[in-house]
A = this chain, B = another copy of it.
Amino acid sequence: MQKSLVVLFLSVLYQSVSAQNLTQYVKPIIGTQRMGHTYPGATVPFGMVQLSPDTDTIPYAIHGSYNPKVYEYCAGYQYDDKTIVGFSHTHFNGTGHSDLGDFLIMPTTGTLRLNPGTADNPESGFRTTFSHENEIAEAGYYKVLLDDYAITAELTATERVGMHRYTFPETKEAHIIFDLMHGIYNYPDKNVWTFVRIENDTLITGYRQTNGWARTRTLYFAMSFSKPFKNYGAKDFEEQKTYRGFWRKFDQEDNFPDLAGRQLRIYFDFDMTEGEQLAIKFALSPVSAAGALKNMEQEIPHWDFERVKREARDQWEKELSRITVTCMKQEDYESFYTAIYHAFITPTLYMDVDGKYKGLDQNIHQAEEFTNYTTFSLWDTYRALHPFLNLIQTGRNNDMIKSMLAHYNQSVHHILPIWSHHANENWCMIGYHAVPVIADAIGKGEAQFDVGKALEACISSAKYRRYDGLNYYMDLGYVPEDKSGSSVSKTLEYAYDDWCIAQIAKKLDKKDIYNEFIQRSENYVNVFDPTIGFMRPKLSNGTWKKDFDPLDTHGQGFIEGNAWNYSLYVPHQPEKMIEMMGGKERFVGRLDSLFTMHLPDKYFENTEDITRDGIIGNYVHGNEPSHHIPFLFNYCENPHKTQEIIRMVMQKMYKSAPDGLGGNDDCGQMSAWYIFNSLGFYPFAPASDSYQIGSPLVKSATLHLENGNIFEIEVKNQSEENIYVKEVWLNEKKLTDWELKHKDIMQGGKLVFVMTNIHN
């Protein structure tokens, strides 16, 4: 065979493998150790079910005080743990506050135990030890050996249904524990109510309502066993009830099909032969138990676990193949496709197969010509995740925006979501960052929703005086620290969001609105103290906060950040900001210091979202407010420094390992940052029509866009050392600046980077 033919053959073979087996690179275990807060279990793209092992039951509070350890369990799983308590059906990907962990299932054998036991003494409860050697986590599939019971557990899922398969040893004492007390960020009064019906000897239905991060959250279920149980029972762990009524007629602990209360655990007994498999289908619904049952019947009308597993993988394969890449090394493939996997988990589907969903008003709504999504971690995801979805999942991103507009319609505050999940606003973090998501879709020409209505929703959100110091902001031009904490962060982010509104207004030719909001967008200047060169909290009397430490994360007017990082948050007017801070030369020195100085622990202790893992110098990559900072070098004629930093961050903060994320994935934001930068560009200011160019990590990439066009990226002279971008060519035309227009991507074409190891 001639050499050229071999090359051709290998190339075809590779492409074929690449196109057909991208799921091989997905390592859901990435980020499960330390602070990534990802979960390793089974889910499909943007699915309602996230069926995953929980490794401990951590109370939110101990003796009434916050238990800091609970933070580690935002996703229910910590890689270093030695035990598993069971498999629950809902999990956040990478959040820094939490909820969910609904409907824990645990298979056991031998003596029935209805308490989870402790990690130190697992035999005291139903939990079991496990080993990562006996654990497989793939896209849409999870498997683990439960040591104490010699049960092999396997999990897979469709959009609305989790499927379990447990392979038992021979036993007359097989149990399925169904724990309705279990939850993530749990505390004794979190469970509001639980309602369960044992419909027959294979079908269970019901719901649970909780009062957690989501204040009024109800999730319905239908659970089906592949074979009938022989016996069942329940225990209500609520300590004391004033009144139990005439239900006391019944022994509700023994085979009683009609259960309700606040703290229920239920068990089902089976006889199992050696190697016999018990499968469980567990469907969720935001609407009703009847809805859950319908979801189950429609999505898994059979008992073929392998088929569900295969279809889950196929779904992932299809979604992952929206972008095909070649990389320098195996690990980069894994980091890249796992990043896409994590970016394609949230927001999650929140609608039954018949289009019904629960709204923010707790009424049941029918989705008219859109798919309803929930879990909007917008303070995080407006930065890169939604811009990424806008680019590569354009239809879904539009549906997500329609879901936000439905939220607005249902909001008694008449505002867009801040941080919302499961028909609840949880009010976490700051800003009104649904606005940049909407503005990004409009600004980049991808809006498929009612833009006029969206502008109305944005303005209404930006003028809700009751919200988080917004009244002061509107009256004074800044949020005063003595009136509303984290005042500088709020002022800066409101100003950026206001610029986004101005961009929408401009597009719709609404001059008055444009003028109003472009003026508001300059409010960042009001919190800049030129005498010290930092953004600084201002009091309501117009004076600066005294005793100000720009290194400290605690109580300095910022949220999850210090003035060194947060002062640079003016993504809409970087040039003006740089000028304000003394000009480009001085600013470069300042950035250099940021990336090289040492930030002692004391400055970020007890700030949960900031850990040493996520810090380079004083630059905090493990949390979001700094994600745009590396690109500020581009604005100071020092693009090579942007390129250096980008490549360094990709190397230091992302790896294909359980501790592979330098901070909470934050519903895919950390991953989306990595994806964009692997491709060589980044949405510095969402809602603008362009991206900033960094330094790509891939050797090549092909973007299969939803409009049918293909955008190719070729990176010439790519290597570990060639981190500098010498030239960039778009469709054979050399770019003269560090900006890439969105429309140039969407109309298809080719981007060529030429790399070098020497910067000019």
**Which residues of A are interface residues toward B (Cβ below 8 A)?**
60-61, 64, 185, 187-190, 192-193, 195, 197-199, 205, 207, 209, 211-213, 215-216, 240-243, 245-247, 249-250, 255-258, 260, 288-290, 361-364, 412-413, 419, 425-428, 466, 468
Contacts and interface: CB of A to CB of B under 8 A. Distances in A.
A193 B211 contact: yes
A197 B211 CA distance: 17
A241 to B, nearest CB: 7
Nearest to A254: B466
A212 B245 contact: yes
Contacts of A361: 197, 205, 289-290
Contacts of A195: 216, 362
A70 to B, nearest CB: 10
A468 B249 contact: yes
Contacts of A185: 243
Nearest to A364: B288
Nearest to A200: B412
Given A192-B193, A250-B466, A243 B362 contact: no
Nearest to A64: B242
Contacts of A245: 212-213, 215, 426-428
Nearest to A250: B466
A186 to B, nearest CB: 9
Contacts of A197: 361, 412
B412 A199 contact: yes
Given A60-B242, A193-B209, A195-B362, 15 more contacts: A64-B242, A187-B243, A188-B242, A192-B193, A193-B211, A193-B216, A197-B412, A209-B209, A212-B243, A213-B246, A215-B245, A216-B260, A247-B427, A250-B427, A289-B362
A58 to B, nearest CB: 13
B243 A412 contact: no
A494 to B, nearest CB: 15
Nearest to A245: B213
Contacts of A240: 64
Given A209-B193, A211-B193, A428 B187 contact: no
A224 to B, nearest CB: 15
B242 A289 contact: no
**Interface SS, A side:** loop
13 contacts: A60-B243, A193-B216, A195-B216, A197-B361, A197-B412, A207-B362, A209-B209, A211-B260, A213-B245, A245-B426, A249-B427, A256-B466, A258-B425
Contacts of A241: 189
Contacts of A363: 288-290
Which of A240, A256, A258, A419 has most chain B Cβ within 10 Å?
A258
Nearest to A193: B192
A466 B242 CA distance: 25
Contacts of A258: 412-413, 425
B189 A246 contact: no
A98 B215 CA distance: 30
A205 B187 CA distance: 29
B427 A187 contact: no
Q: Which 10 residue pairs spanning A and B have beta carbons closest together?
A: A246-B427, A187-B242, A290-B363, A197-B412, A257-B412, A288-B363, A216-B260, A192-B193, A246-B428, A258-B412
Contacts of A260: 211, 215-216
A243 B61 contact: yes
A250 B60 CA distance: 22
Nearest to A60: B243
Contacts of A247: 215, 427
Nearest to A198: B412
Contacts of A288: 362-364
A253 B249 CA distance: 42
A256 B419 CA distance: 19
A212 B260 CA distance: 12
A289 B426 CA distance: 21
A192 B189 contact: no
A295 to B, nearest CB: 14
A408 to B, nearest CB: 14
Contacts of A364: 288, 290, 364
Given A250-B466, A361-B197, A361-B289, A190 B243 contact: yes
A592 B366 CA distance: 67
A71 to B, nearest CB: 14
A570 B317 CA distance: 73
A502 to B, nearest CB: 26
A197 B425 CA distance: 13
A153 to B, nearest CB: 29
A189 B242 contact: yes
Contact of A190 (B60, B198, B242, B419): B242
A495 to B, nearest CB: 20
Which of A189, A215, A260 has most chain B Cβ within 10 Å?
A215
Nearest to A410: B197
A241 B289 CA distance: 29
A419 B255 CA distance: 22
Contacts of A60: 242-243
Nearest to A288: B363
Contacts of A250: 427, 466
A247 B243 CA distance: 31
A239 to B, nearest CB: 10
Contacts of A193: 192-193, 209, 211, 216
A751 B61 CA distance: 76
A564 to B, nearest CB: 26
A145 to B, nearest CB: 35
A301 to B, nearest CB: 20
Contacts of A212: 243, 245
Nearest to A363: B290
Contacts of A211: 193, 243, 260
Contacts of A207: 362
Nearest to A244: B215
A428 B189 CA distance: 29
A222 to B, nearest CB: 11
Contact of A61 (B187, B192, B242, B289): B242
A211 B207 CA distance: 15
A641 B427 CA distance: 75
Nearest to A214: B245
Nearest to A248: B427
A328 to B, nearest CB: 43
A209 B384 CA distance: 41
